[in-house]
Structure 1
Amino acid sequence: MADSTHIPQAPPAVAGLVRRLLRRKMAVFGLVIIVVVVGSAMLAPWIVRYSPDEQLFEGLTLQGAPMPPNAQFLMGTDLLGRDLFSRMLYGARTSLIIGVVANGAALMIGTLVGLTAGFLRGWVGAILMRFTDLMMAFPALLLAICLAAIFQPSLWIVAMVIALVNWVQTARVVYTETTSLAEREFIAAERTLGASQSRILFRHILPHLVPTLIVWGTLGISVTVLLEATLSFLGVGMQPPTPSWGNIIFENQTYFQAAPWLVFIPGAAILLLALAFNLVGDALREVLDPTQRGRD
C-alpha cells in the first residue's frame, strides 16, 4: 500500500546537482550575495525610510555638502540630500531587471541564430555566422553607446540595446555545440529511422544544449549588469532621477574626493554582484560537466 503521507521530492539527478553545487563554498558565497541583493530590491518599499527621489534638507550638512553615513542615513546622502541607501535598493531593482531581461533576450537571440546555423548549415548557416562575425567585429561598448544615443534611453530601451550587442557570443557557443551534436551517431541513427528535422532538433539536440545555456545565462547576467552600469555612468543608460547603480556613480563622481562613499558604495555593489554571478556560473559549469561527475 502506498504511503499517503509521502511528500514529493526533487528528482534524484536534480537533488544531486544541488548537493554538489552547495558543496562549493564560493558558489554558496555567490548565492548568498544574489539572494541578499534580490531580496533587498524586492522588499525595498518596506525597508527604506525615505523615497529614493526625496530631497531632504536634513540630509545635507550646514555647508550644503552630502552627509556621510550615520545612524539616520546608513549610507549617507548624495549631493541633493537624497538617501543613498534608498537609491541603492531601488537602483538594484533597475540593474537586476535590465540584467535579467537583456541577458534573457540575448540568450534567446543567440540560441536561435546558433541553433539554426549549426543545424541547417549550408548557405543559411554561412549567412548567419558571417553576420555574427560581422557583429563581433564591432566593439560591444561602442556599439551599445551608438544605439543608446539613437534611441531615447529608458529601462526597456537600455535592455534591448544590451541584448542586441550581447547575443553574438551565445550564438558562437551554440553553433559550435550544435555542429558537434549534429555529427554524433545517435543523430545519424535518428535520421536513418526517418525522424523529422523538428523531432531531431527539439527532442535530441536542444535538450543537450540546456546545461550550456544555463551556465552561459548565469555568467551573462554579470556582463549585462556591468554593461548597464557602464552605459549609465557614461550618461547614455538609465537617466536620472530613476536610480541605477551606474548613474548613481555618474551623478556623484564630482564629489569623489569630498564624499568618496557616493562612488565606493555603488561601485562595490556592482563588483560584488558581478562576482557573485560569475562564482555561481563557474560552479554550475563544473557541476553540469559530465567529466566531473564522481569526483565530488
Structure 2
Amino acid sequence: MADVAISVPVAPTPGVFRRLLKRKLAVFGLIVIALIVFAAVFAPWIVPYNPDEQFFEGLTLEGAPLAPNVQFWFGTDLVGRDLLSRIIYGARTSLIIGVIANGVSVLIGSAVGITAGYFKGWVSTVLMRFTDLMMAFPALLLAIVLAAIFRPSLLIVAMVIAMVNWVQIARVLYTETRSLAERDFVEAERALGAGTFRILTRHIFPHLVSTIVVYATLGIATTVLLEATLSYLGIGVQPPTASWGNIIFENQTYFTSAPWLVFIPGFAIILLALAFNLVGDALRDILDPTQQGHH
C-alpha cells in the first residue's frame, strides 16, 4: 500500500484554476490573454478596415503617416494602412505561431526528455548529447540560420522556432524522469511484470504533467518574442501578412517622426509575453509540491 501512495502524481486539478484566480497578477495575465485571443479569433469582424488596404487619406500631403485620430485610432503606417487593423491581425499571427511552435517544441522536448530519462545506456547518451549540442548554439542565432535556409512563411517560422525551443523542457523532463524511474513504486511495477508502456503512461507521465503545463505556458511568451525578433530582422513572417515584428521593421525609419508605429506594436509584444509569464509563474508556484500550503 505504501508504494501505491507514493505513486499518486501531483497533477493539475480543478482546484488549480480557483487558486489561480486568487492571484491578482495571474488574473491580469488571464484577462490580457483572453482579450488578445478574442481579438485574434474575431479579427475579420472587429477590425475597422482591411489590414492591407492603403488609404489615400491615410497619408499627409507630404506622404507621411497620420498620427492617431478619430478615423484611424492608432494612426496609419508609412503606406497609409490602418495600424489598429494590422495590430489586431498581428495578434492572430503571433498566437498561431506561438501555439503551433510551442506545441511542437513541447512534444519534441517531452518525447526526448522522457525517453532519455527512462531508458539507460546508449539511448539516453545519444539523446542527451544531441540535446547538449543543441543547447550549445544560441537559440536566436540558430533560428536565424534555419529561417535563412528555408523560405519564410507562417508554418516555416513556427517550425524553425520549435526546432530551437525544445531543449529546455527536454533537459528538465530528463532529470525528473530519471529520478522517477528509480523510485520504489516503479521498481515494484517492473517486478510485477508491467511493461514499459504501462509504466510510462500510468506511473511516470502523470507526475510530469505539472511541469509540462508550466513550460507550455511559459514557452508561448518565449515563442512570441522570438517570432517578433525574426520578423523584425526580415526573416520571419513576410509582408503583407501582418506581424507585430514586421510592423516595427517596416516602420522603423519613421521612429522619430511617428514613434507610435514602433511603440504600439512593441507594447503589444511586451504585454502578451508578460501575460503568459505571469500565468506561467503562478502555475509553477501552485503546481510545485514544495510550494503547497505556502500561498
TM-score range, shorter chain: over 0.9
The two structures have a TM-score, normalised by structure 1, of 0.94
Two-structure CA RMSD over aligned residues (Å): 0.9
Query: C-alpha displacement at 1:20, in angstroms?
Result: 0.8
Aligned to 1:91: 90
Q: Which amino acid aligns with 2:49?
A: Y
Partner residue in 2 for 1:6: none
Tell me what 2:216 maps to: 217
Structure-2 residue corresponding to 1:290: 289
**Aligned equivalent of 2:163:** 164
Q: How big is the shift at 1:244?
A: 0.3
Deviation digits for residues 235-277 of structure 1 (CA, Å, limit 9, x no counterpart): 0000111110000000000000010000000000000100000
Give the Cα–Cα distance (whole angstroms) in 1 for the partners of residues 272 and 35 of structure 2. Answer: 10
**1:31 maps to 2:30:** yes
Identity of aligned residues (%): 72
Q: Which amino acid aligns with 1:249?
A: I
Match of 2:144 in 1: 145
Match for residue 60 of structure 1? Answer: 59
The letter for the 1-side match of 2:286 is: V
1:101 Cα deviation from its structure 2 partner: 0.3
Give me the whole-angstrom Cα distance separating, in 2, the residues matched to 1:247 and 1:49.
21
Other-structure match for 1:4:
none
The correspondence of residues 99-248 of structure 1 with structure 2, limited to 5 A, is 99-248=98-247
Q: What is the deviation of 1:15? A: 3.2
CA displacement at 1:143 relative to structure 2: 0.6
Runs of 4 or more off by more than 3 Å in structure 1? none
Superimposed CA distance per residue, residues 161-217 of structure 1 (whole angstroms, 9 cap, x where no aligned partner) = 000011111110110110111111111111121111111011110111100000000
How far did 1:48 drift? 1.3
Q: Which runs of 5+ in 2 are unaligned?
A: 1-11
Paired with 2:92 and 2:172, the residues of 1 have a C-alpha distance of 30
* Per-residue deviation, 1:106: 0.3
Cα deviation per residue 1:87-116 (whole Å; 9 max; x = unaligned)?
Answer: 000011001100110000000000011111
* Unpaired stretches in structure 1, ≥5 consecutive residues: 1-12
Aligned AA (2:215): W
SS of the residue corresponding to residue 103 of structure 2 reads helix
Give the deviation of 1:295 after TM superposition: 3.3
TM-score (structure 2 length as normaliser): 0.95
Look up the match of 1:3.
none
1:71 counterpart = 2:70: yes
Aligned to 1:251: 250
Aligned to 1:5: none
Matched position secondary structure for 1:92: helix
- One-letter amino acid matched to 1:238: V
SS in 2 for 1:78: coil
Q: Give the match for residue 8 of structure 1.
A: none
Number of residues of Structure 1 aligned to a counterpart in Structure 2: 284
C-alpha displacement of 1:14:
3.1
**Equivalent AA in structure 2 for residue 279 of structure 1:** L
Quote the Cα distance in structure 2 between the aligned partners of 1:119 and 1:33.
Answer: 39
Partner of 2:18: 19
1:288, 1:140 → 2: CA distance? 28
Q: CA deviation at 1:86?
A: 0.4
CA distance in 1 between counterparts of 2:158 and 2:151 reads 12
| Cα shift at 1:133 | 0.3
In structure 2, distance between residues paired with 1:109 and 1:68: 45
- The worse-fitting range, judged by mean Cα deviation, of 187-196 and 24-33 is 187-196
| SS of residue paired to 2:242 | coil
